[in-house]
Amino acid sequence: MNLQIAMILGQDGVTNGAIYALLALSILLVFTVTRVLFIPLGEFVAFGALTMAAFQAGKAPALVWLLAGFAVAVAVADVLAAFRNSGRVRFSGAQTFRLAYPFVLGFALYRLPLAELPMSVQVLLTLALVVPLGPQIYRLFFQPIASAPVLILLIVSIAVHVAMVGLALLMFGPSGAKTTPFSEAGLELGPITLNSQTLWVIAVSVGLIVVLYQFFERSVYGKALRATAINRVGAQLMGISPVFAGKASFFLATLIATLSGVLIAPITTIYYDSGFIISLKGFIGSIIGGLVSYPVAALGAVLVGLLEAFSAFWASTYKEVIVFTLIIPFLLWRSLTVRHVEEEE
C-alpha cells in the first residue's frame, strides 16, 4: 500500500465514519432520553435515500400513505386516551393539524412536477415526508409502554424494525436506487481528488454536530432533553414532560437519519433493507462511547468507518466480520471496568 491508496481509503473511511457518527449520536440521544435502543433508525436512512430517488424519478412514493395511516392511528389513540382520562372526547387544533398534514402533503406530491423541482426542494420534501414518522412511531409503539423494562422496549423496537423492513419492500420494491450528486465539482488534495459528495457528507455532518451542540447547550428544549437524559425522574419532577422528551428525541433522530440517507444516496446504491447494516455500524460507535458519551461515540464511529475502509482493501470478504468483531473487546472492557447500577425505577 502506498500513500495514494492510503489517502483514498482514508477518504472513504472518514466519509462513512461521518455518517456512522451521526447515527451513533442519534442512537445515544434516543437511548439516554427514553431507554429505547432505536433499532429501526436505519430504516429512516433507507427511506430518505429511496424517497429522494423516487422524487428524482418523478414519482410520489407510497410512503405518504404510511404517514397518513399512522396519523389516523395517532389521532384515534389520542382521542381514546383523552376519553379515559377525562370522560370527554377532545380534539385540539394541533391534533387537527397533525391529522390533516399527510393528506395535504400527499395531495401536493401527486400534483407537483417532482422530477423538475430544484434539488434543495426535493431534499425539503423528503424531510417533510419521512421525519414525522419518528414522533408517530414513538406515540404509537413506545409512549404507551414508556415505563416498561429496557428488555421489553428492545423487543418492541426489534418488532417495529422487522415490520418497517417489510413495509419498505412493499412501498419501494426490491430494486436499489441511487440519486444525482449535489454537485459535480471536486477538490485536488495532493495525489487524490476529493469528490464533491464526499465534501458534502463531511461538511453537513460537522455542521449538524455543531448545531446539535449549540441546541443542547443554549436552547431551553435542548437543556430539557439533557436533563431528561441525566435523570428522567428528576426532570419529570421539575415539570419536563417525558412525552415531549420522547417525541423530541425521536424527531431529532429521524431527522438526522433521513438526512444521512439523502447524503449517501449519490455515493452508494441503497436498497429497502440497506439501512439496518448502516445503523448497526453507528450502534458500534455508540457502544464504544458506552451509550453515555457523545464525543467518544462520534470518534468511535469514525474509527469504525476507517477500519471498514482499510479492511475492504486487505480482506474485503471479511470486512464486516472485522468491523463487528470490534464490538467484543469494548463490551468486555466496559463490563469489567464500568460500575453497574440498578435500572432507574
28 vs 337 pLDDT, higher one: 28
Among 84-98, 104-118, 217-231, top mean pLDDT goes to: 104-118
| Whole-angstrom distance, CA of residue 328 vs CA of residue 308 | 16
**Stretch 237-248: mean pLDDT, rounded?**
82
Q: What is the pLDDT of residue 140?
A: 92
**Stretch 40-46: mean pLDDT, rounded?**
90
pLDDT tens column, 85-102: 777 777 788 888 889 999
Confidence check: pLDDT of 8 > 90 = no
pLDDT tens column, 117-161: 998 999 999 999 999 999 999 999 998 888 888 889 999 999 999
Among 8-12, 71-75, 111-115, top mean pLDDT goes to: 71-75
CA dihedral 255, 257, 260, 262 (to 10 degrees): -70
Question: pLDDT band for position 339 (50/70/90)?
Answer: low
| Whole-angstrom distance, CA of residue 262 vs CA of residue 338 | 37
**Stretch 241-267: mean pLDDT, rounded?**
88
Q: What is the pLDDT of residue 344?
A: 47
223 vs 163 pLDDT, higher one: 163
Q: What is the pLDDT of residue 302?
A: 85
The total of other beta-carbon atoms located within 10 Å of residue 231's CB is 12
Confidence check: pLDDT of 11 > 60 = yes
**Stretch 36-54: mean pLDDT, rounded?**
90
Mention every residue, 6+ apart, whose C-beta is less than 8 A from residue 71: 98, 99, 101, 102, 136
The total of other beta-carbon atoms located within 10 Å of residue 55's CB is 24
227 vs 41 pLDDT, higher one: 41
**Stretch 177-194: mean pLDDT, rounded?**
77
Percent of the chain with pLDDT over 70: 95
Question: pLDDT band for position 338 (50/70/90)?
Answer: low
Question: pLDDT band for position 345 (50/70/90)?
Answer: very low
Average pLDDT, the chain: 84
**Stretch 155-170: mean pLDDT, rounded?**
92
The total of other beta-carbon atoms located within 10 Å of residue 32's CB is 19
Q: What is the pLDDT of residue 340?
A: 55
| Alpha-carbon distances of 87 from 73, 78, 82, 140, rounded to whole Å | 20, 13, 7, 21
**Stretch 264-270: mean pLDDT, rounded?**
87
**Stretch 290-310: mean pLDDT, rounded?**
80
